[in-house]
A and B are shown apart, each in its own frame.
Chain A
């Protein structure tokens, strides 16, 4: 049979572009509390529907409802709010520092703070994250010193990474934070290997893999799913769907799959989709997946539905590719405001305390910044040595690098 019309080439388009009206009518959002909570040993085929839904806890009034309400005390929630506020303030200061020429580059988390901050709290102290550049909440919520983060951003003499890495590409084994590569998706599969190692060694530690919506298109993502599935690796596979990959909307990476969570289904990996701007839901879902991994039940894929409210990085201007006010129309709101409202509704917080806390956090971040800047910024003050170029290429400096180091006289 011959087809009546010739083939045509399909290229997905976002719902709207600059000059158009923001349109999220395609994002269907279930009511808070409406999605069931299966036991952690559920069979993947019994929860296929959860890959297409969104688990939500906080409703419009800021009340926590339904089966996924986590057992977090009010003090823990206040701490979570402070983590998110700290990350946001940190971002604002470092963004400004980049604009002031104190460093070359910065990447913000605006709108996505809940994802990494809540996940860190759900994770154990000996577990390992394989993060991307947009999960600094994993450090902040784990009390990594702000000064050290800033020194890395400034590439100064106190930079733990000796000036070698691009700003925000932190690394801290002690804080369960694997060195960030900069090459997308490469670490997603490494997390699976780390988890396999923990199983081989019959340990209790688990791994968390992190990736953005756009980067799930890389082969490494799919390799990670195969290995995680085959070896039932104790790993949580986190996909942060913030709707954008620089200028490319999530439909380009997602294709016909419906959701990113659904990517797990063909691999027999249970997949959950969660409101990534809901601190409580994010924590609860993370906890569920972490428990599964710890009980030797294997991997879980989690898609965090969120929105990148800021630019991709300091090198980017989103007004060139998405409607200017798109972020204001994002139907899942702002994670900081939502947790704040929840705490106020629960009688554990007030506008006044919030303002005070904001001021207090700003003072803390500014103090850390002063301290960091005393060690230098990218173009002035203390610097890592040119010697540091040659160290750590190998465990021992080989003769050819010794010669090269001599050539620059350090």
Chain B
């Protein structure tokens, strides 16, 4: 098993940690919503199939029954309407946390997100603000084809005024989601759907594993936050730094174990704000860096990371920064595993980069 260094932050008490339940990512997200709704009447949750049914991935199951239809309800199939109304509610003073059924369906909402949510504070000089969270499942690995597999994080990180979060495990998912809901600005909360029910390291041909066997499935029942803008080192190493987030954190740990390369694996957790300090310190130590993401290569978030690393660590670098990513094509259905940047593609990059002198 790879080793995980865990940072526990926030307000959970020691006794809570002693008897911690195990949660899947879905349960952790649900728990974050539940805790937030219980603490603050202004938190409202809605989206397509989110109310009575509890969402197609069941992240909001039971919330309507517990908090009533005014706090958790079904929305018409209009992503534009969901986000547009959420902005109006946020401007009123509520704390909407809306769900888009898949990230692939966020485009009708994109104008509302980019032109409105992201800029409301700026253009009104703080007169109106938009404390809003937009959750959406991202990433592939479920044979979802081009409309259930996309990773559009770079379309959000490119927009001034948005924060973008990608958890890789249940513990972080809950802490980050509560922090996102409590944040004064709009937060895009990307949920790697392949991690909903268990960790996934890219070995699609092996039996699926459950979160219960993973230490980061120990999640306190109550309130705690994982601060936005703090990365975490999942594995310490000396030879190369791997920058990853979401599903790719697990892929990275698997590839490191399989290649035996002593890599440092950093789970970014938030892409914006970005924990540049942790990244720079690691690359200064290792002198090598691989950026890993599932999204397409060109103008992906990896391009930003690569630029930052060369800007801040140029004199420490012993090899060009490498990017391992999805191909610059739509996400195919049948050829999913040729597309997905799994441990063998990363493994090759690891071997290549440590040999570069």
Contacts and interface: CB of A to CB of B under 8 A. Distances in A.
Interface of A: 8-9, 11, 13, 17, 104-105, 155-156, 159, 163-167, 169, 181-185, 214-215, 217-220, 245-248, 252-253, 255, 315-316, 320-321, 378, 383-384, 386, 388-390, 393, 400-401, 404, 408
B106 to A, nearest CB: 10
Contacts of A252: 74-76
B356 interface: no
Contacts of A400: 298, 328
Contacts of A9: 69-70
A275 B329 CA distance: 43
Interface string B30-58: 00000000000000000011011100100
Contacts of B69: 9, 11, 13
Contacts of A321: 52-53
Contacts, number: 130
Contact of B327 (A182, A245, A248, A404): A404
B108 interface: yes
Contact of A384 (B298, B328, B334): B334
B145 A166 contact: yes
B224 interface: no
A401 B145 contact: no
What are the 5 closest A-B residue pairs judged by CB atoms, nearest first? A163-B334, A182-B147, A217-B76, A166-B145, A247-B53
A404 to B, nearest CB: 5
B21 interface: no
B182 to A, nearest CB: 23
Interface in B133-160: 142-148
A217 B52 contact: no
Contacts of B11: none
Nearest to B53: A247
Given A166-B147, A183-B104, A214-B76, A389 B333 contact: no
B143 A104 contact: yes
Contacts of A220: 108
Contacts of A316: 56
Interface of B: 48-49, 51-53, 56, 69-70, 73-81, 104-105, 107-108, 142-148, 297-298, 327-330, 332-335, 338-339
Contact of B328 (A214, A215, A218, A393): A393
Nearest to B58: A320
A166 B142 CA distance: 11
Contact of A164 (B48, B51, B146): B146
18 contacts: A17-B52, A156-B334, A163-B334, A166-B145, A166-B146, A181-B147, A182-B145, A246-B48, A247-B56, A247-B74, A321-B53, A378-B143, A384-B335, A388-B335, A389-B339, A390-B327, A393-B330, A408-B327
B145 A165 contact: yes
Nearest to A103: B143
A164 B334 contact: yes
Contacts of A183: 104-105, 107, 147
Given A183-B105, A215-B77, A248-B48, A320 B53 contact: yes
